Homo-oligomer: A and B are copies of this chain.
Amino acid sequence: MAREASVSIATVSRVLSGEKTVNPEMAVRVREAAEKVGYRPNSAARGLVSGTFRTIGVTVPDLGNQYFQEVLRAAVLAAKGDGYRIVVMDSMGDADEEHEACLQQVPNVDGLILISPRMTVSQLEGLVETGVPLVMVNRVEPGFDIPTVTSDNHTAIGELCRHLFSYGHRNMVFINNSYPSWQARAREAAMVENAARLGFSLEILRAEPSIEGGYLAADEAVYLSPTAVLAFNDLMAYGVLTRFSELGVGVPERVSVTGFDDIEIARHSVPPLTTVLSPKAQLGRLAWRAMRASLSDKGNAEVAPVAAPVILRRSTGPAPDADEGNAELGVRAR
């Protein structure tokens, strides 16, 4: 390729890196030659010398959960807009795997976005020490100076509880993520707080954050005879719905059910799920924006939590044998 256009390799490099200091007609010649030979710069070599890869790595705990997929997609799109590529790593929920994959990527990327990371604090410390720019999504870790983007679990759960409470619900079960993620802790704390403040009884269960997890937990939940079951996420809520349908437990006549995230399935369940709209696309975009800021070395601005509105659908209704009360908070949606 160097001599296909009869120029030096330095010039080729300049042309393909888009430097303006090249004779235009020579640039054209180079580009044509490149096209002809099918030449593509080797990005490994390029990264080796320039120390920049125009690539950033992202970890997610579960690619099978559409929630992460949507956050991811927004991040990919935003990054692409700035000429960056994203490579994805599915940690499959394993902290060590996640940590190891990150470490492995470090020399090949300009930065790492950790979505709902599960690695331990000391593993996280190790990552920070490599000096790679980091952005965290859905996890707040005090003491770390890492740009962080989250959604406002606290307000959302407050709204959800008020909604159910105003419908007369006084016995609720919260099926939390069995993995002690930051989100799990945050939501559980908010639930406990609301139970105390509003005055309703609350039981907490734990299950795998998947359809099957919710399905399996539903029997235990129904045994506690609540009038409302709140699940950690939509997948679990969906599993609960399925099991309730099998058990003949009417939703929402006998038990109201809520999810979290508002993924596609929430709109399409029977009945459609009342849930919290986690602004997935916005989280993804903000994550990229934070990363871009880190790369260009702007200060690590701590971003405020993104608002997460409650979406009312038909899986929630008045508690059996209760006054209706003032039940219309939030937005009715399909």
* CB-defined contacts of A66 to chain B, threshold 8 Å: 64
Q: Is the CB of B73 within 8 A of A43?
A: no
Overall SS of chain A's interface: helix
Q: Which of A16-24, A99-107, A305-313 contacts B (4 or more CB under 8 A)?
A: A99-107
A238 to B267, CA, bound (A): 12
Looking at A44, A103, A270, which has the most chain B CB atoms within 10 Å of its CB? A44
Residue of B with least CB distance to A88: B88
**Does A87 sit at the interface, judged by CB under 8 A?**
yes
> Is A85 engaged at the interface, CB distance under 8 Å to the other chain?
yes
Q: Bound complex: CA of A103 vs CA of B85, how far in Å?
A: 13
Asked if A45 is at the interface of the complex by the 8 Å CB criterion, the answer is yes
**Smallest distance from the beta carbon of A334 to chain B beta carbons, Å?**
10
User: Cβ of B107 and Cβ of A40 under 8 Å apart?
Assistant: yes
Chain A positions 140-157 with a Cβ under 8 Å from a chain B Cβ: none
Which chain B residue shows the least CB distance to A269? B242
Q: Which residues of B contact A47 (CB under 8 A)?
A: 44
In the complex, per-residue mask of A87-110: 1 if CB is within 8 Å of any chain B CB, else 0: 111101000000001011011100
Q: Which residues of B contact A103 (CB under 8 A)?
A: 40
Task: Identify which of residues 208-225 in chain A touch chain B, using a CB-to-CB cut-off of 8 Å.
Answer: 210-212, 215
B90 with A90: CB separation less than 8 A: no
A282 interface residue per 8 A CB criterion: no
Give the distance in Å from the alpha carbon of A42 to the alpha carbon of B49 in the complex: 12
* Cβ–Cβ contact B70 & A108, under 8 A: no
The reply to whether B107 and A265 form a contact with Cβ atoms under 8 Å apart is no
Measured CB to CB, the closest approach of chain B to A226, in angstroms, equals: 21
Chain B proximity of A281: nearest CB distance (Å): 13
Chain B residues contacting A296 (CB-CB under 8 Å) are: none
**Whole-angstrom distance between the alpha carbons of A103 and B34 in the complex?**
14
**Set of chain B residues within 8 Å of A76, measured between Cβ atoms:** 90
Closest to A38 in B: B129
6 interchain residue pairs of minimum CB distance = A44-B44, A42-B107, A242-B268, A87-B87, A88-B88, A64-B69
5 A–B contact pairs at CB < 8 A? A63-B63, A64-B73, A72-B90, A211-B268, A215-B268
